[in-house]
Amino acid sequence: MNEELLPETSGAFAAPPILVTGGAGFIGSNFVLDWLENEAAPVVNLDLLTYSGNLENLASLAQASTPPERYTFVHGDIADTALLTQLFAEHRPRAVVHFAAESHVDRSILGPEAFLRTNIDGTFRLLEAARAHYATLAGTERDAFRFLHVSTDEVYGTLAPTDPPFAETTPYAPNSPYAASKASSDFLVRAWHHTYGLPTLITNCSNNYGPFQFPEKLIPLVLLNALAGKSLPVYGDGQQVRDWLFVRDHCSAIRAVLVGGRLGQTYNIGGNNQRANLDVVKTLCALLDELRPAAQPYAQQIRYVQDRPGHDRRYAIDARKIQAELGWYPVDTFETGLRRTVEWYLANGDWLANITSGAYKRWIEDNYSARAPQSPSSDLRSSDQEESPTFQPVGTAKGLA
């Protein structure tokens, strides 16, 4: 345990917690577990438990008999100013690590309003509560305080195949309602530092994968559908590129930025693992063929479906700043991280079964029933597709619902 990780504080401030928002979600819950394994400061976790928040992600804390003073869960909204004021006064956190958000691009396309409410208004209210708290601090308590905002590479827009990866200096060009809402929140954080002197840090990370990811996102959705014998929906031609990072490497990067990041700065985080979506899906199928063989190769379940509107073609992160300034490097490669992830989902069928509730089924119906099956252009057609030329509509008998 690294007692020295956060800046030192006075004796009267012996064990101040960090306030984590959205700590019951995918990355937030991995972060809470990672933090408590590695750091001394306790955690207060504020989460509204929307469809993607799941306290089961943190069940191991109870099983491990985590002392109650090490971990506190608060069920509530980052947009609830009265609650925030009370939490800051009661717990006097030494840092805020802000994950809470609406996070799924497809949901932002079908219903953007929740994204504006949580990601923009919620971040604004959290910033205001943190600013009011910061105004009450003095001396070492004040010097130690940090507000770390967790953001995304999607704020930078899309790259052509030969463009250099996104650097911290790349102009913002968000393309989806989700990306626009995250870009807006980044700008608020920047302004609260510049105008009010709030000691902020921003991280912009590429696509995460790993345990506890809600199966609306590509990797867990493909795993779930493959095991259920359903279609594996590939949007458009499947040649969109994402830069994948194992979630625990994102967590260690956030810890590094919290300790050593320069105030008011942005740090890009990525694992230098660019992969086309179709390759990701085929790699998952190959892992399942090895670890949970079925009668047919899983790749035969791949189906091309109508593309996401405004779909960004390529993301890639230039992570040289965090590497040079803070000495952070990812531990997992895409191959090791993906294998760990598949093994985790295979070993945690109960977790999957519990979250694929009625609300989940409704989302799958909303997102995929309107996506017409699509034929990729002949040069992009996968060999699996050639073996099975009839494209079955998703959302039907052999579909997703």
Count the alpha carbons within 13 Å of 255 in the hemisphere toward its beta carbon.
27
Of 313, 301, 311, nearest to 233 (Cα)? 301
- Residue 153: active-site member: yes
Report whether 18 contacts 44 (CB < 8 A). yes
**78-81 CB contacts, 8 Å cutoff, 24+ apart:** 78/21, 78/22, 78/46, 78/48, 78/118, 78/122, 78/123, 78/125, 78/126, 79/117, 79/118, 79/121, 79/122, 79/125, 80/125, 81/125, 81/128, 81/129
Report whether 77 contacts 48 (CB < 8 A). yes
Indicate whether 122 belongs to the interface with ligand NAD (CB under 6 A): yes
CB burial class (10 A; 0-12, 13-18, 19+) of residue 51? Answer: middle
Closer of 45 and 108 to ligand DAU (Cβ): 108
Stretch that binds ligand DAU, among 71-79, 83-91, 98-106, 339-347 (CB under 6 A): 98-106
- Residue 178: active-site member: yes
Indicate whether 100 belongs to the interface with ligand NAD (CB under 6 A): yes
Closer of 22 and 165 to ligand NAD (Cβ): 22
Give the distance from CA 289 to its chain's centroid. Answer: 27
Q: x/- string (CB under 6 A) for ligand DAU, residues 297-316? A: -----------x------x-
Q: Which does 78 bind (CB under 5 to 8 A by kind): ligand NAD, ligand DAU, none?
A: ligand NAD
Q: Which does 254 bind (CB under 5 to 8 A by kind): ligand DAU, ligand NAD, none?
A: none
Q: How many residues bind ligand DAU (CB under 6 A)?
A: 19
- Tokens at 139, concatenated: 């001396």
| Minimum gap (Å) between residue 161 Cβ and ligand NAD | 22
Indicate whether 28 belongs to the interface with ligand NAD (CB under 6 A): yes
Amino acid identity for residue 93 in this structure: P
One of 9, 17, 21, 299 touching ligand NAD (CB under 6 A): 21
Instruction: Give the integer Cα–Cα distance in Å for 308 and 71.
Output: 39
Instruction: Give the integer Cα–Cα distance in Å for 56 and 198.
Output: 34
Stretch that binds ligand NAD, among 42-50, 233-241, 326-334, 351-359 (CB under 6 A): 42-50
| Minimum gap (Å) between residue 235 Cβ and ligand DAU | 3
Indicate whether 373 belongs to the interface with ligand DAU (CB under 6 A): no
Quote the DSSP letter at residue 52.
T
- A 10 A CB-CB count for 252 gives 18
Q: Which does 26 bind (CB under 5 to 8 A by kind): ligand DAU, ligand NAD, none?
A: ligand NAD
Beta-bridged to residue 39, according to DSSP, are: 2
Indicate whether 318 belongs to the interface with ligand DAU (CB under 6 A): no
Marked catalytic residue, from 77, 141, 153, 216: 153
Marked catalytic residue, from 34, 77, 106, 154: 154
Instruction: Give the integer Cα–Cα distance in Å for 399 and 401.
Output: 6
Indicate whether 154 belongs to the interface with ligand DAU (CB under 6 A): yes
Q: x/- string (CB under 6 A) for ligand NAD, residues 172-211? A: ----------x----------------------x-xx---
- Tokens at 148, concatenated: 């770390």
Contact positions toward ligand NAD, by CB under 6 A?
A: 21-22, 24-28, 46-50, 52-53, 77-79, 99-101, 103, 118, 122, 150, 152, 182, 205, 207-208, 214
Contact positions toward ligand DAU, by CB under 6 A?
A: 103-105, 152-154, 206-207, 217-218, 221, 233-235, 240, 242, 277, 308, 315
